[in-house]
Amino acid sequence: MAKRRPATANPPETPPNGLRGLWRRARRRWWSRWAIDLAIIAAIFWAFGRYQSRNLLGDDLAAPAFTLPDLDGVQRSLADYRGRTVVLLFWAPWCTVCHLESDNWARLQSWRDDIQVIAIAGSWETKASVEEFVGDDRDAYPVLLGTDAVLRAYHVDSFPTHYIIDPEGRVAWQGAGYSPTISLWLRL
């Protein structure tokens, strides 16, 4: 007769099956831990961006017309740029995120000759504060002095807010919050 082995107090652990097992196996490798963490961070940024953009004009709507003065007093209209893709950037001189993003605007304009970047200052008190914000980028793209009516027409309730207007004058994309140059460029 064969001898039976006594039962041990701690049987060997078998890896769990299903989602829990997959999660544990994935977290064991350093590269998959990083990939999972980056995916979670990217999902949070995506969700936050969608939340900030929830009230903006929808895609394929006609972009509201406007005529606004630039820093030299010349009246400029969205219709002046019909036939070109236009990137509208709504910003404010006091906006910290706008300061971080402002170099991206000139870079975007220099990368693409077929588009027109237009920066529209909103929530500004003095023309001097707008000029100080723009600094050396004044000649890189038109800087317009926005009005409350234009901000309302574009549903701007936070800064920075971005719109890409197609050559036919329709909204092709909209977003709020920081956008790296490459992010805007890829949407063109």
Domain ranges of the chain: 18-52, 67-187
Residues 6+ apart with CB under 8 A from 64: 57, 78, 150, 153, 154
Cα→Cα distances 28→14, 20, 34, 63, 157, Å: 16, 13, 11, 50, 44
Looking at residue 7, what is its pLDDT?
Answer: 60
pLDDT tens track for 83-121: 999 999 999 999 999 999 999 999 999 998 899 999 999
3-state class of 35 per DSSP? helix
Q: How far, in Å, CA of 53 to CA of 104, rounded? A: 20
pLDDT tens track for 132-168: 999 877 788 999 999 999 999 999 999 999 999 999 9
**Does the CA dihedral 76-79-84-87 come out positive or negative?**
positive
Q: How far, in Å, CA of 161 to CA of 142, rounded? A: 16
CATH classification code of 67-187: 3.40.30.10
Q: Do residues 95 and 146 lie in contact, with contact meaning Cβ atoms separated by under 8 Å?
A: no
Q: In sequence order, what are the beta bridge partners of 85? A: 115
